[in-house]
């Protein structure tokens, strides 16, 4: 049995086999700005916000809400194309270029719980006649500060779907992605489980990287990575050192599973995960802060791999309890030889 699971069981929290995760539909909308007279600049640059919007492969792909990264591919030539809004939205992709106007997220599984969606490596690959494929990644979110609005508006922004989304949804760059690299995080909740509810996650005039231009010709293929599910709360106090942590999955209720990730540690470093009851006093020690360590339960020795990473799968529980997980690693680059990840609040039983 996993040592960390043993620690949780020792705290009196039972686990069951994870249930199958629900799926929601994913498709994209592209705006025909070139057909409407807009100028071509470069892939990823602001391509304008005038022109009809066409769906590409409407509701034709699914995102499993299990916390894993999944790639989505939209071949613009293969379609199919369906009209959404605007005078030229006629089911025919017109013009040589346009913009990625939105990602459409449809609640086909009738999910009523809060959903976290993460997006990364948005790209357009073209294959000029007689040439080799050329990929332009215009959404990797690597250079932006935590919480910055980049490319996509907040979930409640679009008038097309605001009635489908509970008020208060958020979006912004997430720099604490230990399972991958920086990504764009969107937190929202559908107002009910009606399977026709959908979210238009639009790029329309976003604060940064708005209305990104994409090609419609030259065999253009738009790709991006997504994951969806339940993200446990980042409880802060990262540092010294660069190590970070996160927990993401189907949740921590009965039948759910989430994965605790650590990244950016020193290669092959040894360390320990501290598990504490939440809402207890923090403790400052050896240059870092252990969150809620006044409620310490147990620690478990760990080692990161040659890339400074580790991952541990945690089962959900039928008893409600909030735990705090935080990892401390040996690190020769810090003054006292230790790196502290941020703490993660694990909300078991829901």
Chain segment 329-340, per-residue pLDDT in tens:
999 999 999 999
Residues 209-213: what's their mean pLDDT?
98
Q: What is the mean pLDDT of the chain?
A: 94
Model confidence at 19, pLDDT cuts 50, 70, 90, reads low
Residues 199-217: what's their mean pLDDT?
98
Q: What angle do CA 161, 167, 170 make, to 5 degrees?
A: 90
Q: What pLDDT sits at residue 350?
A: 86
Domain limits, the chain: 23-228, 232-348
What is the percentage of the chain residues whose pLDDT exceeds 90?
93
Q: What pLDDT sits at residue 18?
A: 43
- Predicted confidence (pLDDT) at residue 13 exceeds the cutoff of 70: no
- pTM for this one? 0.92
Residues 183/248, Cβ–Cβ less than 8 Å = no
Q: Could you read off the pLDDT of 266-278 as tens digits, one per residue?
A: 999 999 999 999 9
The whole-angstrom separation of Cα 155 and Cα 269 is: 39
Residues 249/229, Cβ–Cβ less than 8 Å = yes
Residues 19-40: what's their mean pLDDT?
94
Phi and psi angles of residue 131, each rounded to the nearest 5 degrees, phi first: -115, 180
Residues 132-141: what's their mean pLDDT?
97
Residues 177-189: what's their mean pLDDT?
97
**According to CATH, what is the number of the domain 232-348?**
2.20.130.20
The whole-angstrom separation of Cα 271 and Cα 100 is: 44
Q: Could you read off the pLDDT of 64-90 as tens digits, one per residue?
A: 999 999 999 999 999 999 999 999 999
């Amino acid at each position: 049995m996993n040592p960390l699971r043993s620690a949780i069981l020792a705290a009196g929290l039972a686990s069951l086999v994870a249930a199958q995760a629900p799926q929601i539909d994913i498709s994209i909308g592209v705006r025909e700005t070139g057909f409407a007279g807009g100028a071509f600049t470069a892939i990823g640059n602001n391509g304008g916000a005038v022109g009809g919007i066409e769906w590409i492969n409407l509701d034709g792909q699914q995102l499993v809400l299990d916390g894993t990264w999944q790639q989505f591919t939209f071949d613009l030539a293969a379609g199919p194309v369906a009209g959404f809004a605007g005078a030229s939205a006629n089911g025919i992709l017109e013009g040589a270029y346009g913009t990625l106007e939105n990602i459409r997220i449809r609640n086909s599984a009738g999910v009523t719980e809060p959903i976290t969606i993460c997006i990364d490596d948005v790209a357009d690959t073209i294959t000029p006649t007689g040439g080799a494929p050329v990929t332009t990644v215009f959404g990797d979110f690597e250079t932006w500060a935590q919480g910055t609005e980049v490319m996509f508006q907040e979930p409640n922004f679009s008038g097309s779907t605001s009635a489908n989304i509970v008020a208060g949804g958020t979006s912004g760059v997430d720099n604490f992605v230990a399972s991958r690299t920086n990504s764009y995080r969107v937190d929202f909740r559908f107002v009910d489980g009606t399977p026709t509810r959908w979210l238009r996650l639009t790029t329309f005039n976003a604060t940064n990287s708005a209305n990104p231009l994409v090609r419609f010709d030259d065999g253009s293929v738009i790709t991006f990575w997504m994951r969806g599910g339940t993200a446990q709360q980042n409880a802060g106090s990262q540092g010294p050192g660069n190590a970070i942590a996160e927990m993401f999955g189907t949740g921590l209720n009965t039948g759910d599973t989430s994965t605790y990730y650590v990244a950016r540690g020193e290669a092959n470093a040894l360390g320990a995960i501290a598990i504490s009851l939440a809402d207890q006093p923090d403790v400052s020690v050896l240059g870092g802060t252990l969150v809620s360590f006044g409620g310490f339960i147990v620690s478990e020795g760990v080692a990161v791999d040659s890339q400074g990473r580790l991952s541990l799968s945690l089962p959900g529980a039928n008893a409600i309890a909030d735990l705090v997980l935080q990892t401390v690693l040996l690190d020769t680059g810090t003054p006292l030889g230790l790196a502290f990840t941020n703490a993660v609040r694990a909300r078991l039983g829901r």
